[in-house]
C-alpha cells in the first residue's frame, strides 16, 4: 500500500510531468526520423532531462521543523557521547530526551504554529544541547575557570548547570502542551454538555 501511494504521488508530481512532456517531444522526433533502438534511447534521455531539471520540493512541516530529525538528534547525541562524559551528564541528556519524546512530541499539534515553544524544542535538540556537550569535551576534565563571575566552577559543573536549564525549559514546554490538551478536553466536555442539554430540552 505504501509503495502504491508513493507511485501515485510520483506519477502526479511536477518532476514526472516535466519528464513526460519532454519524452513526448523525443517520441515525436523519433517518429519523424526513425532510428530503431536509438529512438527509444532518445525518448528515455528526454524524460530524464525533464525529470532531473525539476527540483523536488522539500517537505513543509507545520511546526517549522521535522519532528523525526529532532528526536533523531537527541538519540544520536546520547549514542555519540556515551562513555565520553560522566554518568550525571548522560542522565540529564536522557531526561531531556524523554521529556521531548514522550510528553511533547505526541501532542505537538497542541502547540500553536510559530510559537516560541516550537523554536525552543528544535534549538534545544539540534543546537544548544549538542553545543554545550561539545564545548565541554574540548576542555580537560579537571579544568577550573578563573574568569570573573565563574565562581571557580569546573567545566563539568558548568555543563551540568546548562543541562539543568535546558531540562527545566523542556519541562515548562511540556506543561504548556499539557495545559493545551486539557483545554481541548474541557472544550469537548462543554460541547457534549450543550448538545445533550439541547436534546433533553427538545425531547
pTM above 0.75, yes or no: no
Higher pLDDT, 161 or 32: 161
Last residue within a domain, chosen from 53, 78, 96: 53
Query: Does 58 map to a domain?
Result: no
Report yes or no: 130 and 77 within 8 Å, Cβ to Cβ: yes
DSSP letters spanning 111-129: SPTT-HHHHHHHHIIIIIH
- Note down the domain range covering 24: 2-53
Are 139 and 192 members of one domain? Answer: yes
3-state secondary structure of 154: strand
Query: Does 31 map to a domain?
Result: yes
Are 128 and 33 members of one domain? Answer: no
Are 37 and 91 members of one domain? Answer: no
Query: Does 110 map to a domain?
Result: yes
Per-residue confidence band for 111, with pLDDT thresholds at 50, 70 and 90: confident
Query: Does 59 map to a domain?
Result: no
Report yes or no: 156 and 86 within 8 Å, Cβ to Cβ: yes
Are 97 and 197 members of one domain? Answer: yes
Are 154 and 179 members of one domain? Answer: yes
Which cell numbers hold the place of 109?
499539534
Out of 14-28, 82-96, 134-148, give the one with best mean pLDDT: 82-96
Are 98 and 197 members of one domain? Answer: yes
Helix, strand, coil proportions of the chain in percent (round to 5)?
75, 0, 25
Are 162 and 188 members of one domain? Answer: yes
Q: How far apart are CA 167 and CA 92, in angstroms?
A: 7
Which cell numbers hold the place of 27?
517520441
Report yes or no: 72 and 55 within 8 Å, Cβ to Cβ: no
Residue 14 predicted with pLDDT over 50: yes
Query: Does 62 map to a domain?
Result: no
Count of domains for the chain? 2
Query: Does 135 map to a domain?
Result: yes
Q: How far apart are CA 104 and CA 88, in angstroms?
A: 23
Which cell numbers hold the place of 198?
439541547
Are 81 and 106 members of one domain? Answer: yes
pLDDT (tens digit, 9 = 90+) per residue, 153-189? 899 999 999 999 999 999 999 999 999 888 888 999 9
Number of helices followed by number of strands (H, E) in the chain? 8, 0
Report yes or no: 78 and 95 within 8 Å, Cβ to Cβ: no
Are 44 and 107 members of one domain? Answer: no
Last residue within a domain, chosen from 14, 29, 53: 53
Residue 105 predicted with pLDDT over 60: yes
pLDDT (tens digit, 9 = 90+) per residue, 40-71? 666 676 676 666 666 555 555 667 778 888 98
Query: Does 60 map to a domain?
Result: no
Are 39 and 100 members of one domain? Answer: no
Q: How far apart are CA 183 and CA 177, in angstroms?
A: 10
The residue length of the chain stands at 203
Angle at 120 between CA 151 and CA 163, to 5 degrees: 35
At CB < 8 A and 24+ separation, what contacts does 195-202 make?
Answer: none
Last residue within a domain, chosen from 30, 53, 76: 53
Query: Does 126 map to a domain?
Result: yes
Are 131 and 166 members of one domain? Answer: yes
Are 85 and 12 members of one domain? Answer: no
Mean pLDDT of the chain: 80
Amino acid at each position: 500500500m505504501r509503495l502504491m501511494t508513493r507511485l501515485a504521488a510520483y506519477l502526479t508530481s511536477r518532476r514526472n510531468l516535466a519528464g513526460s512532456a519532454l519524452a513526448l517531444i523525443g517520441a515525436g522526433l523519433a517518429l519523424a526520423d526513425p532510428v530503431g533502438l536509438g529512438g527509444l534511447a532518445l525518448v528515455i534521455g528526454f524524460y530524464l532531462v525533464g525529470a532531473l531539471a525539476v527540483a523536488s520540493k522539500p517537505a513543509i512541516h507545520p511546526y517549522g521543523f521535522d519532528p523525526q530529525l529532532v528526536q533523531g538528534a537527541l538519540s544520536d547525541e546520547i549514542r555519540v557521547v556515551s562513555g565520553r562524559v560522566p554518568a550525571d551528564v548522560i542522565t540529564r541528556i536522557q531526561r531531556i530526551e524523554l521529556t521531548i519524546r514522550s510528553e511533547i512530541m505526541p501532542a505537538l499539534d497542541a502547540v500553536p504554529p510559530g510559537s516560541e515553544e516550537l523554536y525552543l524544542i528544535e534549538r534545544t535538540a539540534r543546537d544548544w544541547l549538542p553545543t554545550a556537550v561539545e564545548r565541554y569535551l574540548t576542555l580537560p576534565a579537571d579544568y577550573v575557570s578563573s574568569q570573573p563571575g565563574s565562581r571557580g566552577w569546573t567545566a563539568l559543573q558548568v555543563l551540568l548547570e546548562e543541562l539543568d536549564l535546558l531540562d527545566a525549559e523542556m519541562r515548562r514546554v511540556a506543561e504548556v502542551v499539557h495545559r493545551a490538551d486539557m483545554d481541548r478536553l474541557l472544550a469537548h466536555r462543554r460541547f457534549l454538555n450543550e448538545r445533550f442539554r439541547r436534546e433533553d430540552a427538545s425531547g
